[in-house]
Structure formats: C-alpha cells, structure tokens
Amino acid sequence: MIDLMTLITPDEDRGNSAELLGIAEKHFERLAGALDRAVVAVEQGQPETAKEANGLVRDLSKSLQSVMEERVRVEKLRRQNAGIVHDFAIDFDSARSEIRGRLARLRATVGAGGVSE
C-alpha cells in the first residue's frame, strides 16, 4: 500500500542556519567584550578609546540584528521541519489511523444487508 501522507522536504540548508546562528552569537559576544573593555578604558581616563567604543557600538548593533535574524530563521526552519504551519501541526499518524478505522467500519457495513437505525 502506498503511504500518501509522507511529507517530502528538500534537505538543503539543514544545519546551515544553526551554524550561522552560532557564529553570529560568538561574534556578538566578542564585540560585547571589546565594548566592555573600551568603556573601562574610558572610565580609567583613556578618552582616545571613546571613538573605538562608538564604532564598537555600531558593530554590536549590526551583530545583534544578525543574531536576531538568524534566530528567527532557525526557529522558522525548526517549525517547518516539525510540520508546524501557521502555529499548528497535523498529526498524520493520527489522521491515518482515523481514516483506516472509518474505512474498516464502512467495509464492515457493506455486507450487513442494510443500514441500522
């Protein structure tokens, strides 16, 4: 019997988003650390690091945006791979079982000689 409820999805891009998310998070952490060191240097009387801190703030903002976009992408792929569409998933095993049960009941009534009341 052919199983018509099998979902076939392309395997491309699996794992790439999770890997990119990890890279983006590491980059974000490095920038945050560099910014923290620059702020400490400014607080210790090294105002020349203020310019560096401003650049780091811009880079940190861009990095945060990348991390958030990648997290959204990973979550979307995770939900898609789990069969969740529009906040719900179809339980194909349960549906298949229900259909088989109904077909079995229909087959059983075929030879019953009529419909009971």
Residues 98-112 have a mean pLDDT of 85
Convert the pLDDT of each residue in 52-87 to its tens digit: 878 888 888 887 888 888 888 888 887 777 777 666
- Give the range with max mean pLDDT: 22-26, 38-42, 93-97, 100-104: 100-104
**β-strands 88-89, 84-85 pairing:** antiparallel
Burial of 74 (0-12, 13-18, 19+ CB in 10 A): middle
pLDDT at position 7 over 50: no
Specify the 3-state DSSP secondary structure of 46.
Answer: coil
Are 49 and 42 in contact, with CB atoms under 8 Å apart? Answer: yes
**Which tops the pLDDT comparison, 90 or 28?**
28
pLDDT category at 89 given cuts 50, 70, 90 is: low
